[in-house]
Structure 1
Amino acid sequence: MSAGFQCKQFTIAHQHCAMKVGTDALLLGAWARLPAKGAMLDIGAGSGILSLMLAQRSQGKQAITAIELDAAAAAQAADNVQHSPWPLAITVIKGDILTYQSTQRYALIVSNPPFFQAALPSIDPLRQQARHTDSLPFSALLQQAATLLSPEGEFCLVLPAVSQPAFDAAATEGGWHCLRRCAVQSKANKPVSRYLQSWRIAGKRQAVELSSLLIHAENGTYSAEYRALLRDFYLKF
């Protein structure tokens, strides 16, 4: 089992986290639009990978709050932050986002949320909690994000394609409108596997900015667009 993931400017230890660093988090951390100013919130921080990517991109100049339900993962995220170049930029909170209260309104909220709604449960209860919507239903996640987001703020997340229709329905019912959506494929001949997306709860509605991303080129190597997106983080890029 991998004990860590090395980025260009920081290291993520994740051996105590139910969910290890993966492609979804790396994509979201690089794709989410960084606000010009204002604080940011990472819901379900896990090892802290998203928070650290945002800290690197903002050069540690914007406050980031990282909330994680699991005690072991929260402790590991806090340790990763303390050993990073931006220990003062990120505050890790061990807690439940559904009961989290703050007067702070965030310019950006990011989440790589529990996403499986109709899948066999994991035999590992911590992995079950990290991967399934039992602990964080889409409607509850959206309601809490609406409470914590600033009027012009964006809520960015990544979801598997199979979970997208249910999330779209919950978001629309909650009064959200999509700003950007990126369809991600592993290869050109494969179906869309996940969607990167940005939502807003207030402000003027506008046409959704649609895009697509291939992770691998036809020869199996990483595509040029994937390399460009993650070149500031991957050692091999």
Structure 2
Amino acid sequence: MSAGFQCKKFYVAHDQCAMKVGTDGLLLGAFAPLPAPGSTMLDIGAGSGLVSLMLAQRSQGLSPIDAIELDPAAACQAAANVAASPWPQAVQLIKGDILTYQPGKRYRLIVSNPPFFQQSLLSKDARRSQARHTSSLPLPKLLQKAAELLDEKGVFGLVLPLSEGEMLLQQALHAGWYLAQRCEVKSKADKPVQRLLLTLRRTPCQALLSQLIIHQEDGNYSDEYRTLLKDFYLKF
């Protein structure tokens, strides 16, 4: 198993993290809309710190990012990844539970690659179960906490599997959120939707609907996927 993931401008070690670097985090880190320079951002469930570091790179280290992670080992590794990156001052790692987090401020962008398995069997590895299953962070509570912490003009960005994303979106609209962006992600054009990239707002807005195909028919990465991740993937 790989001990880490090398991006163009930073390295993410993840051997101490229950959930390794994967496509979901890469998609969210590249897709989430950056706020104006200097605006504060929050990464809920930071894991290895991948998404926070992608946001730091995109904002050139000019916007403060708070990254909160419940698992102590993952939080320590994320802090080390941040310290070794070109933007050590941009990201502050917080070991703790988002549900009890009281920062005394609001954020212009909140992102989360949350645990999403609901019906599947819990892993024998307690840390992996915590990272993967909604029992550790139920989606309704995540929405409620994001509403508390988001600036009135802010954006909440998430990546989820299709069924869980649809469920969260239904709950969000019922709770007074508004859909800003919905991007359906497919591995290939003829395959079913695998992930939803969502952005939500607390004020009315026009929803932008799109689709992202990761691979072409020949198996190579699509031009749109390459464009999205060209600043991060070594192979692009």
- 2:227 counterpart letter in structure 1: A
Match of 1:228 in 2: 227
Cα displacement string for residues 152-210 of structure 1 (whole angstroms, at most 9, x for unaligned residues):
00000000012123212221221111100100000011000000010012x2x233100
List aligned pairs for 1:80-99, cutoff 5 A.
Answer: 80-99=81-100
Residue 68 (structure 2) pairs with residue 67 (structure 1): yes
Does the 8 A contact of 2:159 with 2:165 survive in 1?
no
Match of 1:165 in 2: 166
Residue 15 (structure 2) pairs with residue 15 (structure 1): yes
TM-score (norm: length of structure 2): 0.98
1:124 to partner: Cα distance: 1.2
- 2:231 counterpart letter in structure 1: D
CA distance in 2, matches of 1:48, 1:63: 14
Residue 4 (structure 2) pairs with residue 34 (structure 1): no
Moved more, 163-172 or 125-134: 163-172
Cα displacement string for residues 25-84 of structure 1 (whole angstroms, at most 9, x for unaligned residues):
000100100001310000000000000000000000000000000000000000000000
1:147 to partner: Cα distance: 0.6
CA distance in 2, matches of 1:230, 1:169: 29
Match of 2:190 in 1: 189
RMSD across aligned positions (CA): 0.8
List aligned pairs for 1:190-205, cutoff 5 A.
Answer: 190-201=191-202, 203=203, 205=204
Give 5+ residue unaligned stretches, structure 2. Answer: none
CA distance in 1, matches of 2:168, 2:121: 19
- 1:30 counterpart letter in structure 2: A
Match of 2:127 in 1: 126
Aligned length: 235
TM-score (norm: length of structure 1): 0.98
- Look up the SS of the partner of 1:103 in the other structure: coil
1:123 to partner: Cα distance: 1.7
- Look up the SS of the partner of 1:33 in the other structure: coil
- Look up the SS of the partner of 1:181 in the other structure: strand
- Look up the SS of the partner of 2:43 in the other structure: strand
Does the 8 A contact of 2:68 with 2:96 survive in 1?
yes
CA distance in 2, matches of 1:222, 1:234: 11
CA distance in 1, matches of 2:63, 2:111: 14
CA distance in 1, matches of 2:75, 2:3: 16
- Look up the SS of the partner of 1:189 in the other structure: coil
Give 5+ residue unaligned stretches, structure 1. Answer: none
- 2:215 counterpart letter in structure 1: H
CA distance in 2, matches of 1:122, 1:235: 32
- Look up the SS of the partner of 1:117 in the other structure: coil
Cα displacement string for residues 87-109 of structure 1 (whole angstroms, at most 9, x for unaligned residues):
00100000000000012210100
Residue 25 (structure 2) pairs with residue 25 (structure 1): yes
CA distance in 2, matches of 1:198, 1:16: 29
Does the 8 A contact of 2:182 with 2:208 survive in 1?
yes
List aligned pairs for 1:127-166, cutoff 5 A.
Answer: 127-166=128-167
- 2:233 counterpart letter in structure 1: Y
Deviating above 6 A after TM superposition, structure 1's stretches of 4 or more consecutive aligned residues are none
Q: Percent identity?
A: 63
